């Protein structure tokens, strides 16, 4: 089957408009929703190429939820029916028994006509999507699934810091996480330039903040660092060229490059990155941006393993906790 072209929605001014999440119920520990926390009941469906899904992969690993919440990885190339399970034997997810994520979406809402997005948490028993609300998924893994965290798991959303974390991640989402898409899929010069300036203005502010502190909020890794990392780790590989985010490469922004390397070398971050999936997805799926479908060979990935020197700023990734075990 041929790859499907990603068609971006835009406003009348040519601004990229992100599709709203369709399934926004929460999986809760107190029974306040239709989806109770229950180990083994749900399957987290992700693309290793997708930054939004990558967040949930990192959080799941840091918290040690592998035994409680199983993981399904889709092919980085979507076909005409969306994300597919062609990496699995027989092209079918071994737990859900489906070939395409769309089957779970349509089992939940037969009238759904939007894009079938990842991450999605699917109920194994019914085959329905419990949630595809990616901002909430990771927060709930930290707070609602606490009973099943590993010993020594970090608190990625500590209650005393939640207001500050929320304040930090809002402009990161608008200007950086979504900002690179606003650049890449802008349909007018004005929309592109506005997104470009928002993106690099925010990166400059983050660089100033991180020049004197190791992490975005507090002395340990939090949800804020995870959300920024998944965009930074893709920046030079795809966003700089493919999305025209080309004022500078990440490797040309000293503070952010050192910060990103620090996180990459922290267990749970770099060991969840798949540059092959990332590049093949972006360059092979966005036909309107890369009609040839050629996937670039660079950049050189060895720089991610070079010393970063961020230890001098104090703090430690896991505080009084421990890193996740080696993969």
Give the residue numbers of the binding site for glutathione.
Answer: 83, 115-118
> Is there a catalytic annotation at residue 181?
yes
Per-position b or e across 86-109, b if 16+ CB within 10 A of its CB: bebeeeebeebebbbbbbbbbbbe
Catalytic residue among 42, 50, 192, 245: 50
- Separation CA 63–CA 142 (nearest Å): 7
Give the closest residue to 295 by CA, choosing from 310, 312, 309, 278. Answer: 278
Residues 224/163, Cβ–Cβ less than 8 Å:
no
Q: Does the active-site annotation cover 42?
A: no
Q: Give me 178's structure tokens.
A: 């979504």
Catalytic hit among 42, 134, 181, 259: 181
Q: What are phi and psi of 208, to 5 degrees?
A: -60, -40
Determine the Cα–Cα distance for residues 45 and 82; give it in Å rounded to an integer.
Answer: 13
Local structure of 185: helix, strand or coil: coil
| Burial class (CB within 10 angstroms; exposed 0-12, middle 13-18, buried 19+) of 141 | buried
CA distance 292 to 9: 22
> Which residues belong to the active site?
50, 181
């Amino acid at each position: 089957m041929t790859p499907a072209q990603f068609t971006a929605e835009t406003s009348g001014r040519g601004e990229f408009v992100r599709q709203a999440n369709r399934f926004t119920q929460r999986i809760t520990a107190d029974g306040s929703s239709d989806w109770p926390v229950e180990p083994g009941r749900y399957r987290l469906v992700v693309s290793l190429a997708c930054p939004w899904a990558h967040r949930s992969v990192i959080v799941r690993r840091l918290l040690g939820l592998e035994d409680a919440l199983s993981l399904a990885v889709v092919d980085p190339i979507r076909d005409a029916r969306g994300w597919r399970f062609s990496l699995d034997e027989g092209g079918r997810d071994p737990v859900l028994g489906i070939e395409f994520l769309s089957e779970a979406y349509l089992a939940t809402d037969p009238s759904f006509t939007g894009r079938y997005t990842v991450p999605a948490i699917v109920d194994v028993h019914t085959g329905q999507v419990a949630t595809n609300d990616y901002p909430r998924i990771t927060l709930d893994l930290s707070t609602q699934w606490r009973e099943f965290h590993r010993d020594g798991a970090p608190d990625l959303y500590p209650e005393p810091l939640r207001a500050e974390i929320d304040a930090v991640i809002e402009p990161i989402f608008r200007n950086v996480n979504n900002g690179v898409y606003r650049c890449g899929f802008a349909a007018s010069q004005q929309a592109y330039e506005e997104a470009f300036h928002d993106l690099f203005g925010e990166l400059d502010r983050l660089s100033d903040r991180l020049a004197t502190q190791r992490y975005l909020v507090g002395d340990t890794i939090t949800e804020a660092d995870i959300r920024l990392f998944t965009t930074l780790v893709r920046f030079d590989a795809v966003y700089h060229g493919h999305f025209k985010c080309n004022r500078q490469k990440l490797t040309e922004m000293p503070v952010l490059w050192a910060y990103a390397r620090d996180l990459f070398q922290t267990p749970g971050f770099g060991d969840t990155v798949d540059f092959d999936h990332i590049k093949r997805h972006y360059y092979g799926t966005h036909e309107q941006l890369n009609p040839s479908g050629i996937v670039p060979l660079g950049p050189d990935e060895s720089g991610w393993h070079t010393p970063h020197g961020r230890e001098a700023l104090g703090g430690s990734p896991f505080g009084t906790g421990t890193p996740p075990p080696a993969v």
